[in-house]
Amino acid sequence: MAYTAQKPKIAYDTHELRNRIVGWGVDLDPKNRPAVPKEKFNANTGAHWDFPERQVERWPREKSPEHKFLTPVFGTACPPKGLSGAVRRYAYTFSEGRTAHWLLLLGADRLDVIESRLGALLRGRPDNPITETGVLSEFKRHGIRSRIGQHRADIKHQAVDLLLFAATYAAIGSAVYSLGRAVARGARTDR
Amino acid sequence: MRAMVYRGPYRVRVEEKEIPSIEHPNDAIVRVTRAAICGSDLHLYHGMMPDTRVGMTFGHEFTGIVEAVGASVQNLQRGDHVLVPFNISCGSCFFCVRELYSNCHNTNANASAVGGIYGYSHTAGGYDGGQGEYVRVPFADVGPSKIPEWMDEEDAVLLTDACPTGYFAAELGEIKEGDVVVVFGAGPVGLFSAKSSWLMGAGRVIVIDHLDYRLEMAKRFAQAETINFTEHDDIVMHLKKITDFLGADVCIDAVGCEADGSFFQVLTSSKLKLQGGSPVALNWAIDSVRKAGNVVAIGGYGPLFSAVKFGDAMNKGLTIRTNQCSVKRHWPRLFEHVKNGVLKPSEIVTHRIPLEEIAEGYHIMSSKLDHCVKPLVLPQAA
């Protein structure tokens, strides 16, 4: 037991394991483990440059201030756009160590969703909550049977999802209503 | 081309996008033949990862055929069938030459804390991923490798992340002969961690989850003991009892930031985004491991702070080891294991989903429907 020097007998006999489990102990020797030691110098990574050639920067690419310069290669998916893009660019004035950096990015993500949904609506290809959430798989892939009587811990808080979903739409509805009312009031005052 | 695009939390769809082009002389364009949805894609899907932009294509596990190469590519040519590690790495920075490819300093302009990762938000570099018909693969001479003729493509796609990451978790645990290893999470990485723990000489491997069907797979695939934590008031106490009040030698958190088991943690993380993740599994690992034991955090967490019980970790003198797996470093050994029949990664594949139905694939994976463990995505161009 733990209260004396001897380790308690809490594991199986390793000779028996060797017979029972295919490959047992083949990497017992740390020499066989590829990530040991943690840092292993390798001159043959496939790179044939000391520093990579630079990718062309086609728009002012946002970068972490914790980098000395724009990395020689970078992703070009989804350049920042609109109000969310402005918030993202501002977020990248803060280092990764600052909470503001991450909270601004999370905020920009939510703005991006609103902008993108409105944009899709105006372009005539509105978002479809039924197909995009994949919710129809609930009927094809045993939605009820996958949950009932399964000891699942996540069932307990799924009501929160519905609450948050409803609260989001209630907040948007309330904002639209207040805006509409303010506009109507303004129009009446002008007359 | 057709590609999955993110439309906001819990929403994805398939759209027409431009086929990616060569943007750097060492780029390749790969026509995707197999992709996978990873458990960590769900963090993006659930809106947990900052700077996840609408319109982005996810997918960091994929295989495909080289369609075009940049002027400086030497090791690949058009028509090669390749597997591509989820890490984008330059091969020449301070970290890459030390085989820490996941920590590459030249591929992620948006953050210095992590290297580039395909389809994993702008926090991981802003690269589109492989859940589409084509993908841009930077540093084609460093990352991808030709799929050996003897290797099954479904094994290959799992060697791009899930399998090496699980194996790496066991390595980080510094397992010694006869050690008791507890793995929290019976998802793909947890399953590979459990299986790999045996390869490293563990004397007992216990897998914890709340999904019975996944625990069944842990028994079958990884020959592990299993415990459903919902059947115990206090899983830490139970683990102490079955280890004669010593605790496990090694605990692996293979769940990450969306761990269940504490309403408060789930509410403040996944639901309200007030912390970078719900560290329930990590806290259980810290509490269940023996003093001076090793805790491995291999499940993904967001960059924001999380309520981790660091005081217990300090008082117990724990070694906590983490990193994103540097996949390529592991391939020679893992290829041997697959060839010799020690590992058969594709045994954990449960679903094969056409790209056009990927929204349902995400819902199935996210809601754990239909006994889903690992869904593969089949692009039409394949």
ipTM of the complex: 0.95
pLDDT of residue B382 exceeding 60 = no
Nearest chain A Cα distance for residue B153, angstroms: 22
pLDDT of residue B198: 98
Which domain, by its residues, includes A94? 76-144
Q: What CATH number was assigned to the domain covering residues B163-322?
A: 3.40.50.720
Q: Please, what is the average pLDDT of chain B?
A: 96
Of B7, B56, B367, the CB nearest to A132: B7
Give the mean pLDDT of A73-92: 98
> Which pLDDT does position A172 carry in this prediction?
81
A93 contact B CB<8A? no
> Which pLDDT tens digit goes with each residue over A88-112?
999 999 999 999 999 999 999 999 9
Q: CA–CA separation, B63 vs B61, rounded Å?
A: 7
Residue-wise pLDDT tens digits, A35-63: 999 999 998 999 999 999 999 999 999 99
Number of domains in chain A: 1
Q: Is residue A119 assigned to a domain?
A: yes
pLDDT in tens, B218-242: 999 999 999 999 999 999 999 999 9
pLDDT at B381: 58
Q: Show the tokens assigned to A62.
A: 């946002």
Of A64, A52, A62, which Cα lies nearest the Cα of B96? A52
Range B296-323 average pLDDT: 95
Round to whole Å and give the CA distance between B9 and B333: 38
- What pLDDT does B150 receive? 98
Residue A48 within a domain? no
pLDDT for A69 beyond 70: yes
- AA identity, residue B199: L
Higher pLDDT, A131 or A171: A131
A124 is a domain residue: yes
Whether the Cβ atoms of residue A96 and residue B111 lie closer than 8 Å to each other: yes
Check residue B283 and give its pLDDT.
Answer: 97
Class for the domain spanning B2-161+326-378: alpha beta
Q: Where are the domains of chain B?
A: 2-161+326-378, 163-322
Pairing relationship of beta strands B87-88 and B116-117 according to DSSP bridges: antiparallel
What is residue A41's predicted lDDT score, i.e. its pLDDT?
A: 95
pLDDT tens string B236-280: 999 999 999 999 999 999 999 989 888 888 888 888 888 888 999
Confidence of residue A154 (pLDDT cuts 50, 70, 90): confident
Chain A 146-185, residues with CB within 8 Å of chain B CB atoms: 146, 150-154, 156-157, 160-161, 164
Instruction: Residue B329: list chain A partners with CB under 8 A.
Output: 34-35, 40
Q: Which one of B334, B338, B367 makes the best mutation probe of the A interface by having the most chain A beta carbons within 10 Å?
A: B367
Tell me, yes or no, whether A191 lies in a domain.
no
Interface test with A, best of B51, B141, B176, B290 (most A CBs within 10 A): B51
Cα–Cα distance for residue pair B134/B3, rounded to 1 Å: 8
- Please give the structure tokens belonging to residue B319: 């070694």
Q: Are B231 and B253 in contact (CB under 8 A)?
A: no
Contact B144, B29 (CB under 8 A): no
Mean of pLDDT over chain A: 93
- Cβ distance of B111 and A66 shorter than 8 Å: yes
